[in-house]
Structure 1
């Protein structure tokens, strides 16, 4: 892909306050150009903050994982599209994806379908009533997303290679669960290093704690960008 290595790193601002997020963005400076805002920050004033980031020339990934009746999803996506966000997540259920694609029409917003959360494994799916493995469910949802015109998928890095054979060439793969060598895994069950994730076929890497909790976040981000550059060469 033509996107440069720095733009392929998305730092997750999983922080409790806008002030904490502002401080982190200031510390990271030009090292990071793309940020993810999820529930925690969104519900603490993060949406106006996101608009400010966009106005300042940063790219924003709103990880809101929308899933509701079609009309509600469509109207919500229309509102996000007006903000100028780059990515928005929805759960990869057919009705939800269809409504999201309709809602983003005429904008540059790209819809990402969340296949199976990276904190889930086969036993978690069984407990939720699914009679299939994580890999089988991810593949099924990926095919539906492709057929509905969704712009990309959120998947674990270990699934990226297989999904390349399912999705359309224009679709992007965005992978959380990225942990540089030596990092704690936390609550993620399906993880990979930045270099291995790029080699597996990931387009964008979402990294949170290994950057925002690092003693030197800027250095941590630079190291990951370096890994992406080497793996992309």
Structure 2
């Protein structure tokens, strides 16, 4: 989902999955009501973080969604050629061959889901792809030389909606500080604003519209 949020208007106020025997294998559901296949993947370089996969039953393609950059501050990509996979399977089914081991999900692996209940077999391709972030939020606003400025941020209620930044005028110094505000946004999002200064700060004294654009546009 793409998100492009507009933060408009500035008010300057006078107000003071079940148990798993092997983490690299699969999770067998003990419930006959369990009929959903879910898959998660992990990078070998960081096994503490799991990424969800999209399961397309029509095409038989399972795609693990790995963030485009796995760091919030540096342009670092995960190695899709060295990943581990685990799955929660419908009752009475198993993958052939199993999922244990390290896999190249950039190239993809082939697996067959076999039902011990009715003998049915379904072929799947499991791969991974980089997904750009859809987050487009203003997370912090700070004013030059005013570390204790009182600021509130109201995020848009809907995708593509309009939010609000409110700076409370707790002292006369706020007026000057508004001319060099720093807006921190979601990782890898960018800011578009006509009142942006050369150093990247924003002149909020002009009550500008600020557009936060997510990594995926």
For the criterion TM > 0.5, the same-fold answer is: no
Structure with higher Rg: it is: 2
Higher relative contact order (CA 8 A, sep 6+): 2
TM-score scaled by length of structure 1: 0.23
TM-score scaled by length of structure 2: 0.25
- Larger proportion of helix: 1
- Larger proportion of strand: 2
